[in-house]
Each structure stands twice: as structure tokens, then as C-alpha cells.
Amino acid sequence: MQLVGWHPELLNELTRRGYQVAIFDNRDAGQSTHFAHAGTPDIGQLLARDASAAAYTLAELADDAAGVLDLLGWPTAHVMGVSMGGMVAQTMALRHPERLRSLTTIMATTGAEGVGQPTDTALGTLLSPPALTRDEHIENAVRSYAIIASTDFPHDYDHIRTRAGQSWDRGHDPEGTIRQVAAILASGDRTALLGELRLPTLVVHGTTDPLVDVSGGRATAAAIRGAELLEVEGMGHDLPREVWPRFLDRLDDVVARGENPLRATAA
């Protein structure tokens, strides 16, 4: 996903609640640095979880995120990530613990092979042939969303079409997506290391997520000492508008604990 994946109204609600928000394109997405020179892993390498196929791992992506904080002049931040971004956020907490006031990981997993696995149908949305035109890309996004989105909440297809069009215009790179998938697979199991974290943590996951099974969120919450788990019934691999109030209230709480060392210690 590119930074336009963040719903603008959700960003507005965050700023309304008093947050200063920074979003960015990870490497190989949108207007960030692309690694075409590294080549593209083939499907067989991905299915075999061949680490040698990866041009980089989540570690480099986490270091990139820390670099964004450096550029902004922010010594610390409350770090939140969705899907691969949640895995990047976890890795950032492991590699740069002094930079995080709190951690929020949404629809992500620990890297353990036994949890957070996609259904075959959902995996197909990542590995399907790329679109050749802007209109085809938008329709592919709609079809993919219908597969991975929530079962119990309305689907915001207008936003999906707008986001897909923006992504195409800003720098659509399906080979970059494959390299990002390879980075996830090459990064291994973080479970033991996550157990060493000592910071306020919120884990959010939907019970019907077909792309990152809810077991991934449960495993993340179990691995991190004191982590809170917000498990949303009927939510898939998306963050529906109807869930925002509940999610943001819990985010406010974990941020408050990150701002108050006494509350953080008590957790």
C-alpha cells in the first residue's frame, strides 16, 4: 500500500484528537525509492519462503521508518502500522526501542509460520497478474477488496476506487509489491524478541481477516508483555469507518500510557 491507503477522514479524526501525524511510502511503493535493480522473486521462491529471494527485509524497512523520524526531527513517536506496516512497526520497536512511546500493530502477525496465514484465495489477490491500464488496476482493486474486506461492515468502494486511481498515478509498481512480500517472508519469527519489549502496545485484528488470519494478531498480543488486544468481530483486512470510534478510543488509551511512565509501568 501507498500512503494514500490511509483514509483521509481517519487522518482528519486523528488530528482532531490532537495528534500530529506523519505518513509515508515504504521503499518500493509510491514515490519512495524503488529497487527494480534487485530483480523480482518468482512465485515459487515466495511459496517456498526462500529468504535468498529478498532484496531487503523488514529490518531495512524499520530503519527507513526511523530515518523518517530523523528527518522530521522527532526524537520519539507513537508508532502505528497496518498489515505489513504493523510488522514494520514491530521490527522498529525491536531495533529502535528508544524511539517509540507506544506501539499499535493492526492486522499484522509475528512471522511465526503457524499463525497469521492467508487463505489461498486471499493470497491470490497479492500474486495475481498486474493490471496494464489505470481502469484495469481500479477494477482489480475492487475485486481484491471484495475478497479481503470485512464480512460484517459495509464496503466503501468509492474510497477503494479513488485510492487505486491515486496509487496508479503516484507510482504503481507490482514488482515492488512482490519484493515487499519477499521481505516479510525472509524476516523470520519475531515471537521471542517481541517478548522482550516493554512498552504500551495495542494490537487490533478482525476475526474474519482472510489475508492475515486473526491468529496472527492473537499471537502478537500474547508475545508482547501487557499488550491489549482489540479483536473486532466480522472485520476483515480493512479498517471500516464503523470501527473507528472504538479503535481510536483504545488508541487514545495506549498513547496516554505511553505519555505517562507510571501508567505504562502499571500495565
Neighbour-count burial of 129, counting CB atoms closer than 10 A to its CB (0-12 exposed, 13-18 middle, 19+ buried) = exposed
Distance CA 234, CA 81 (A): 20
| pLDDT of residue 102 exceeding 50 | yes
| pLDDT of residue 159 exceeding 60 | yes
Q: What's the number of domains the chain is made of? A: 1
pLDDT tens-digit series, residues 234-259: 999 999 999 999 999 999 999 999 99
- Determine the pLDDT at residue 264: 37
Provide the pLDDT confidence category of residue 93 given band limits of 50, 70 and 90. very high
| pLDDT of residue 112 exceeding 90 | yes
Percent of the chain residues topping a pLDDT of 70: 97
Q: Which residues touch 31 (CB under 8 Å, ≥6 apart)?
A: 25, 170, 171
pTM value is 0.94
The residues facing 230 across adjacent strands are 204
**Maximum mean pLDDT: which of 29-43, 99-113, 115-129, 249-263:** 99-113
- Determine the pLDDT at residue 267: 30
Mean pLDDT, the chain, rounded, equals: 94
User: What CATH number is associated with residue 158?
Assistant: 3.40.50.1820
| pLDDT of residue 261 exceeding 70 | no
The owner of cell 522482550 is 196
| pLDDT of residue 183 exceeding 50 | yes
| pLDDT of residue 124 exceeding 90 | no
Percent of the chain residues topping a pLDDT of 90: 89
- Determine the pLDDT at residue 262: 44
Note down the domain range covering 253. Answer: 3-266
Phi/psi for 82 (5° steps) reads -115, 135
| pLDDT of residue 50 exceeding 80 | no
Distance CA 110, CA 131 (A): 31
For residue 18, what is the DSSP state? T
